Amino acid sequence: MVATNSVRKRTGNISVGTSVFAMIVLEKELSKVYPEIDMVTTPDGSPVGMVHANNCSSDINAWLGLFREFSEAMGYEVDTGKLFSVMFNKALEADPDGGGLLSYGYYSGENITGIDKGRPLFVRSPESNFNLANFMRTHLFTAFGALKLGMDILTKNEHVAIDSILAHGGLFKTPVVGQRIVAAAMNVPVSVMSTAGEGGAWGMALLASYMINKDQQESLDVFLEQKVFSDVQGEEVSPDASDVKGFEAFIERYRNGLAIEQAAVDHLVENGRE
């Protein structure tokens, strides 16, 4: 939270990798306990609601590995950075809801949705608009599907207000695309800063500096904003209304399709074993 300047109330950060979590600094305690929400605090004691989903980018990486194999079989060597950039940007050409496609990138069980084993799954109907752009948008959408369900508990059940989110992780190396997807999912402006790759060790150093040098009346959020991050460059992407509406349509499909994912867990054996 310190390393990403996300300690002020109504702000948060989202970290994306093989799993994904979001931490939102709350203005007050939640009204009750939710199994989907972990309660922690900022270093200066403000309550934080954390939503952690076990699955995020693994299935995207697997599919892009398949496209790399295809390219190589056709005789083309593809740079990894270019592969991800081209494929991610295709998602911006897609139908807002992903064309009726559905996927679950569950490499492991997912507590938020009550699925106890991993079964990566891709599903479509004959009426779905099956093209590359919708395929990529669907997989980017579903990377944040379980997280979205947890975040809805905060924003819809508990009416938690969020002014902005700072994002970090490899998915955001391709400019704009990942931010637009997260902004659509959370309906909140999403920023990526040049320092977003700095982690816990730097955050601890910042806290030590704060304790040694702070004015007794200076709060941690003021110290970070005025003395650490004041000159840090960042790019903010605001939610696009069409993207938000499209993600809401997708997440309804995602909720309704969880029975399909459960059926895959129940009936698809792995290596001859349950």
What is the SS3 assignment for 137-165? HHHHHHHCHHHHHHHHHHHHHCCCCCCEE
pLDDT of residue 69: 96
219: domain CATH number? 3.30.420.40
Q: Are residues 114 and 128 in the same domain?
A: yes
In a domain? residue 34: yes
pLDDT of residue 273: 53
In a domain? residue 271: no
pLDDT of residue 199: 65
pLDDT of residue 150: 96
Q: Are residues 175 and 118 in the same domain?
A: no
One-letter amino acid at 64 equals L
In a domain? residue 28: yes
Q: Are residues 202 and 259 in the same domain?
A: no
DSSP bridge pairs for 154:
none
Domain count, the chain: 2
Q: Are residues 214 and 157 in the same domain?
A: yes
Q: Are residues 139 and 154 in the same domain?
A: no
> Is residue 123 classed exposed, middle or buried when 0-12, 13-18 and 19+ CB atoms within 10 A define those classes?
middle
Domain residues for 50?
A: 11-54+149-234
Average pLDDT for runs of 10 along the chain of length 274? 86 93 96 95 93 97 97 95 96 98 97 96 98 98 97 96 90 90 96 70 84 78 84 86 98 98 93 56
User: What pTM, to 2 d.p., does this model score?
Assistant: 0.91
Q: Which residues, 6+ apart, have CB-to-CB distance to 239 below 8 Å?
A: 183, 184, 186, 187, 188, 189
Q: Are residues 27 and 137 in the same domain?
A: no
Q: Are 95 and 246 in contact (CB under 8 A)?
A: yes
Q: Which residues, 6+ apart, have CB-to-CB distance to 258 below 8 Å?
A: 113, 114, 115
pLDDT of residue 142: 98
Q: Are residues 165 and 214 in the same domain?
A: yes
Q: Are residues 222 and 260 in the same domain?
A: no
Q: Are residues 221 and 168 in the same domain?
A: yes
Q: Are residues 177 and 117 in the same domain?
A: no
In a domain? residue 24: yes
Q: Are residues 67 and 136 in the same domain?
A: yes
In a domain? residue 5: no
In a domain? residue 69: yes
In a domain? residue 272: no
Q: Are residues 183 and 64 in the same domain?
A: no
Q: How many CA atoms lie within 13 A of 63 on its CB side?
A: 23
In a domain? residue 117: yes
